[in-house]
Amino acid sequence: MTRITLMGAAAFACLASAPALAQEGGFSLSPAPRWDSADGESSFKLRGRLFIDQADVDWTSPFSGDPTDSTEFRTARLGFEIEHGPVKFVAEYDFASGDAKPNDILAAITLPRGTVRIGHFKTMNSLEEETSSRYTTFMERGIATDLFGLDRRIGVAYNWSGNGFTASVGVFGGRMDDNFAFRESDGSSATAARVTWSNVQDGTRWHVGASWRGMDYDGGTRLRVYPQAHLANRFTAIDYRTGAALGAADSSDFLGLELAAIHGPFHVHGEFAQLTLDGPASDPSFNSGFAQAGWILTGETRPYKESGGVFNRLRPESGIFSGGHGAFEIAARYDITDLGDANLGEIRATTFGANWYLDDYLRVMANYVMAEMDAATFTETSDTVQFRIQADF
């Protein structure tokens, strides 16, 4: 596994760091193989990412033993993009698990005002979730995004942006089935919407956002989450599936609030999320939130994409392939989730992170995570030191 991991990382590193090489016929590497028409109206390019993780997990629980794996391909995606005029088609699959799991499989049409997307993509919820995993500060997102089931679904959505504002709304069916089958894997459905505002005031970039998702389940749901370390075990799940002792969840409402600021090399980001279930006794409600701060030691500013209301790619001022040292970042996050309505107390997690951005498309990450589920009758804990080699194109 180690030898394969190193070979894979080296191959991706060579591809991701390759300079743009113009060739006859409109072909180039920038940083991946692509073709552009002479008039600029059409293009084709490959896209992909590889995340290789290694972790040392100290796990305690009355219900499960130590994790069995210490290394994994967290993500191994490959896909392509085709553009012609106002139409863009994207198809990308993740092969890390051995199956071909769909990610973005969509067509996007740019209109005079806004964009329409049709296919399989994320519901529009949470700055943390909407920001690509290539650009998040930590190896794992905040607890709410996983616990509350923010995910991709087959649907149609409209997005608009202008004057610092974004607004998006979508209607969705179920998740897409694996292995290149463009069909729903279940009968669930959802409606979602998100609005954001951003502006620069006195040298500080501000972001404020809110989102909502209404979900109708097919067979109920489970609330379960990793302790912000994917190579650890999951914390004890809350089972609201059909036939469960707690009762089956028929539907849910998700509400999320977002606040972020960027000033020079410093950035802060916090979110609050609430999920309310309909179906189980007393309609349980769960709250989750986090606050984080980061400092880019080499002076770069964390990029922000105003038209999407999301964070963007950090590009070091002097990458290692240009004779420089890359960019260095340190960060910390505190995450807390209230599971009192299920008699499971709280989940608390503290994460310290360091990132080395070798070049535009290469990053090395290190996280130390202390997490616990503190229930009334038991406690589960996870202390994890984890590392990631990340390359994309």
Nearest alpha-carbon partner for 207 in 267, 248, 153? 267
User: Residue 276 in contact with residue 291, Cβ under 8 Å?
Assistant: no
| Cis before 31? omega within 30 | yes
Pairwise CA distance, residues 220 & 279, whole Å: 9
Pairwise CA distance, residues 228 & 180, whole Å: 29
Which residues, at least 6 apart from 323, have a Cβ–Cβ distance to it below 8 Å?
Answer: none
Nearest alpha-carbon partner for 106 in 114, 115, 117, 116? 117
The tens-digit pLDDT sequence of the chain (393 residues) is 444 444 444 445 444 444 444 444 589 987 789 999 999 899 999 999 999 999 999 999 999 999 999 999 999 999 999 999 999 999 999 999 989 999 999 999 999 999 999 999 999 999 999 999 999 999 999 999 999 999 999 999 999 999 999 999 999 999 999 888 888 999 999 999 999 999 999 999 999 999 999 999 999 999 999 999 999 999 999 999 999 999 999 999 999 999 999 999 999 999 999 999 999 999 999 999 999 999 999 999 999 999 999 999 999 999 999 999 999 999 999 999 999 999 999 999 999 999 999 999 999 999 999 999 999 999 999 999 999 999 999
Structure tokens at 361: 């498309």
